[in-house]
């Protein structure tokens, strides 16, 4: 979802080594290994769990067309693990995050999960691909039921299929992104106010996420703007399409003035590239315009007509601006997955509340927990473990003194247009939570 930066081969080698060496036989937390670099001196008022190390593994794509997204996000986890360790969280624990490449495959993800569990890891992170998320959630629930004392918590940073917190909700799954129903509720409210939008084409990736985006787009628009025509709908293979020109031709032939898409990574950047080359000048309403690869593909051509609905944007201000600037200086990359921050914030608070790093006690403490984050107070809803948070509609425009952050050095940025508070973006849940 940003112009794919060139990652040196040695970077992937380091990630592979990190995954391969994953701390064999650890418990949920452990003291630093013998011979490791000495820990920094504890703050004057150390947290109750100071000295304990919480090992976490992110299972996500690090290779292939969508690999640059996962690589960038893993850097974000390692950057913020350092920020939130020790005195950075009320429990005083130290967070360590490594990655395993799942090649965006549910089967590969389950193999990685087994390897991580066998090595004693009890905190699993994933986000890219709801098909992967559904497989992991089910596998972790079954593992925990069969292996008391070895429970695992699944922290979902980006997979937005509503089923994960509705019909297929799990006590061990916690989602930190807003799901598709929440995003579409806000997006359709904004579209409903744009009287020049009359004909919409829905284009998505052919897996659960793309199907749900289409479903909720049609449902919410019918409720809020029944006069809008859905003039076309298509699903394409995930991370396999290199030429979107045929889809752009269909969109133009249908007379669509607007495209709604949940595409991400190369599937969005290549779509935008094809639209620019094919002379399509309609609007795009997206979830992931700010992610690796897409800013470069947009260039200045998308100014004023490419929108993003998300829980953050590039110009949040305050501490977030400082972190993003530091991240960019350190990695020559852009940080955009703000749910990373929420994961560390809520875990630290829950571990302090539970006075433990045991996943059983931490899961109970996470339910209903509230923390102050980069855009106000957020809450993990107890009923379904869906984070309740504000959403923002932003539009691609030229960077300015007021909104200066320029992703991928494009000279452009996402300018915030409207904030949708928790009570507006929140949607009901049908989750019948089965608690241990």
The two structure tokens encoding residue 377: 């107070």
User: Would the pTM count as exceeding 0.85?
Assistant: yes
Task: Give the pLDDT of residue 361.
Answer: 98
Task: Give the pLDDT of residue 21.
Answer: 35
Which CATH number is 181-315+390-425's, of 3.30.70.20, 2.60.40.680, 3.40.50.2300, 3.30.70.1230? 3.40.50.2300
**Domains 9-34+47-178+318-388 and 181-315+390-425 equal at CATH topology level:** yes
Task: Give the pLDDT of residue 407.
Answer: 97
Residues of the chain with pLDDT under 50: 1-28, 30-44
Q: How many residues does the chain have?
A: 436
Task: Give the pLDDT of residue 160.
Answer: 96
Q: Which alpha helices (DSSP H) does 150-290 contain, by range?
A: 180-192, 208-224, 245-253, 266-278
Q: What is the DSSP string of 169-208?
A: --TTEEE-SPPHHHHHHHHHHHHHT-TT--EEEEEEESSH
> CA distances (Å), 38 to each of 30, 87, 110, 217, 251, in order?
15, 16, 35, 53, 59
Largest CA-CA distance found in the chain, in angstroms, rounded: 68
The two structure tokens encoding residue 54: 């919480």
If residue 329 lies in a helix (H) or strand (E), which one and from where to where?
helix 318-331
Bridge partners (DSSP) listed for residue 386: 175
Task: Give the pLDDT of residue 80.
Answer: 98
The two structure tokens encoding residue 282: 């309609």
Domain 9-34+47-178+318-388 part of CATH 3.40.50.2020: no
Task: Give the pLDDT of residue 28.
Answer: 47
Task: Give the pLDDT of residue 323.
Answer: 98
Task: Give the pLDDT of residue 308.
Answer: 98
Q: What is the DSSP string of 100-142?
A: EE-TT-HHHHHHHHHHHHHTT--EEEE-S-HHHHHHHHHHHHH
CA dihedral angle for residue 156, residue 159, residue 161, residue 165, rounded to 10 degrees: 10
> CA distances (Å), 248 to each of 13, 14, 168, 293, 402, in order?
38, 39, 35, 19, 34
- Domain borders along the chain are 9-34+47-178+318-388, 181-315+390-425
Contacts of 340 (CB under 8 A, 6+ apart): 73, 76, 77, 80, 157
């Amino acid at each position: 979802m940003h112009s794919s930066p060139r990652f040196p081969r040695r970077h992937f080698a380091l990630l592979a080594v990190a995954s391969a060496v994953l701390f064999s036989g650890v418990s949920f937390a452990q003291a630093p290994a013998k011979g490791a670099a000495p820990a920094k001196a504890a703050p004057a008022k150390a947290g109750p769990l100071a000295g304990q190390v919480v090992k976490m593994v992110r299972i996500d794509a690090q290779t292939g067309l969508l690999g640059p997204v996962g690589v960038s996000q893993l850097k974000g986890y390692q950057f913020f693990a350092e920020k939130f360790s020790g005195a950075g969280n009320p429990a005083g624990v130290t967070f360590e995050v490594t990655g395993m490449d799942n090649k965006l495959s549910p089967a590969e993800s389950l193999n990685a999960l087994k390897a991580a569990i066998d090595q004693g890891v009890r905190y699993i992170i994933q986000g890219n691909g709801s098909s992967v998320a559904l497989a992991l959630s089910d596998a972790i629930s079954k593992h925990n039921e069969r292996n008391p004392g070895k429970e695992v918590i699944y922290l979902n940073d980006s997979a937005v299929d509503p089923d994960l917190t509705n019909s297929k909700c799990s006590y061990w799954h916690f989602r930190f992104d807003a799901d598709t129903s929440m995003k579409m509720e806000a997006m359709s409210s904004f579209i409903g106010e744009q009287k020049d939008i009359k004909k919409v084409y829905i284009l998505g990736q052919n897996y659960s996420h793309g199907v749900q985006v289409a479903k909720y787009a049609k449902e919410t628009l019918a409720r809020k703007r029944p006069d809008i025509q859905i003039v076309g709908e298509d699903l394409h293979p995930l991370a396999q399409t290199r030429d979107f020109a045929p889809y752009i031709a269909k969109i133009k032939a249908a007379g669509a003035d607007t495209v709604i898409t949940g595409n991400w990574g190369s599937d969005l950047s290549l779509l935008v590239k094809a639209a620019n080359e094919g002379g399509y000048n309609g609007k795009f309403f997206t979830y992931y315009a700010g992610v690796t690869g897409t800013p470069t593909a947009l260039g200045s051509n998308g100014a004023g007509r490419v929108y993003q609905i998300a829980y953050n944007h590039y110009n949040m201000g305050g501490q977030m601006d400082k972190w993003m600037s530091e991240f960019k200086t350190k990695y020559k990359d852009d940080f955009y997955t703000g749910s990373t921050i929420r994961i560390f914030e809520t875990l630290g608070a829950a571990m302090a509340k539970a006075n433990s790093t045991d996943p059983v006690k931490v899961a109970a403490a996470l339910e209903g927990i509230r923390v102050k984050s980069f855009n106000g107070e957020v809450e993990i809803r107890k009923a379904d473990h869906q984070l309740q948070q504000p959403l923002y509609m932003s539009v691609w425009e030229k960077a300015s003194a007021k909104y200066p952050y320029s992703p991928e050095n494009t000279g452009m940025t996402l300018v915030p247009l409207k904030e949708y508070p928790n009570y507006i973006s929140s949607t009901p849940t049908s989750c019948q939570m089965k608690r241990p």
